[in-house]
Amino acid sequence: MDFGLTEEQAELGGLTRKILAERDAPWGDLAAAGVLAAGLPPALGGAGLGLLEQCSVLIELGRVASEVPYLGSIVLGAGALASYGTAAQQEQWAAPAGRGSVVLTAALAEPDGDDPRRPSARAERTDGRWVLSGVKTAVDAAPEADLFLVPCASPDGVLVFLVTPSDAGVRVEPQRLTDFAPAGRVLLSRVALDDDRVLGGAEVADWLVARATVGLCAVQSGVIERALELTAEYAKSRVAFGWPTRTSTWRRSGSPCGRPPGCWLRGSPGRMSRWPRPSSGRPRPATGWRTPRYTCTAGSGST
């Protein structure tokens, strides 16, 4: 089985890395270079690439801890509209998001629940319209978002609605999260919407949860990848008690090749998997979700 990057994934990741390194405010440059729209269908101005190519972008964003709202606006927002939206919804929101002219986001988390597929926010049918009430929290890019994708429980099951901050009854309160990324609480107080604001049902909520999970994992992969690189560079030059740690402390601890104990680095440190460390000192695949100790392996070297 080949876990190598495709040409498209490598090129898109490399282009993203170059833009992030050269620009302090890269959103417009990512849009101009076609990075934002790359995962959208050609009919919406995209290149028709998929989630794996988008993950290449997310990994690069994680490497520099970038705050650009690519996951919320492109992967979740524009991606859901491209997959489930009507032609009018796609034209109004998905295509402009790919051009970087609007910011979309998914309002998934709630103060009293962590499963967007079972939301506490409610949608009731009143006088031929949907009336939404509830609170969403830690919504990515909420202060700057032009559209929220909001799952709500309804008499017909879970429905995902398209809500704008200008809709009557919507209030956005900025929040300060531990990573300092822009986020906010979205309060819905009897927000009345027509049927054309319904994106879809439970299948859309499932899609959003699955894509958000994969996307967050991709971002964290980039964070860990860069942290490992910085740690390795620091370890090469650190001196403790008059001895370079890479040739003293780690060798005395039994680490192979003077590297940190518990880590084997092979090939590109950008491709990592987690393995439990056995007593024999060689990595072996994890057999369950509970593994007390892990070793990082990277690249295409055999294990």
Residues 60-104 have pLDDT tens digits of 999 999 999 999 999 999 999 999 999 999 999 999 999 999 999
Per cent of the chain over pLDDT 70 is 80
Band of pLDDT at residue 244, cut at 50, 70 and 90: confident
Query: What CATH number is given for 7-102+207-217 in this structure?
Result: 1.10.540.10
Give residue limits of the domains in the chain. Answer: 7-102+207-217, 105-202, 238-298
pLDDT at residue 302, rounded to an integer: 39
DSSP bridge pairs for 193: 130
pLDDT at residue 2, rounded to an integer: 67
- What is the dihedral angle through the alpha carbons of 15, 21, 24, 26, rounded to the nearest 10 degrees? 10
Residue 295 reports pLDDT greater than 90: no
Question: Token digits for 91?
Answer: 């034209």
- pLDDT by residue (tens digit) across 181-197? 899 999 999 999 999 99
Fold of domain 105-202? Butyryl-CoA Dehydrogenase, subunit A; domain 2 (2.40.110)
pLDDT at residue 44, rounded to an integer: 96
pLDDT at residue 189, rounded to an integer: 98
Band of pLDDT at residue 24, cut at 50, 70 and 90: confident
pLDDT at residue 226, rounded to an integer: 94
How many helical (H) and strand (E) elements, i.e. helices and strands, does the chain have?
9, 12
pLDDT at residue 247, rounded to an integer: 57
- For the ranges 105-114, 131-140, 230-239, 283-292, which has the lowest average pLDDT? 283-292
Residues 228-259 as b/e (b if ≥16 CB within 10 A, e otherwise) read beeeeeebeeeeeeeeebbeebbeeeebeebe
Residue 220 reports pLDDT greater than 80: yes
Residue 291 reports pLDDT greater than 80: no
Cα angle 205-31-167, degrees, rounded to a multiple of 5: 45
Residue 296 reports pLDDT greater than 60: no
Band of pLDDT at residue 237, cut at 50, 70 and 90: confident
Query: Could you give the 3-state DSSP secondary structure of residue 224?
Result: helix
pLDDT at residue 86, rounded to an integer: 97
- pLDDT by residue (tens digit) across 112-152? 888 999 999 999 999 999 999 999 999 999 999 999 999 99
pLDDT at residue 240, rounded to an integer: 75
Residue 273 reports pLDDT greater than 60: no
Q: What average pLDDT does the structure give for the chain?
A: 84
Contact 263/296 with Cβ under 8 angstroms? yes
Residues 6+ apart with CB under 8 A from 272: 221, 224, 225, 228, 296, 297, 298
Q: How many CB atoms lie within 10 A of CB 131?
A: 18
pLDDT at residue 205, rounded to an integer: 97
pLDDT at residue 274, rounded to an integer: 35
* DSSP symbols for 148-190: EEEEEEETTEEEEEEE-TTSTTEEEEEEE-TT--EEEEEEEEE
| Separation of first and last alpha carbons in the chain | 14
Enter the DSSP assignment of 113.
B
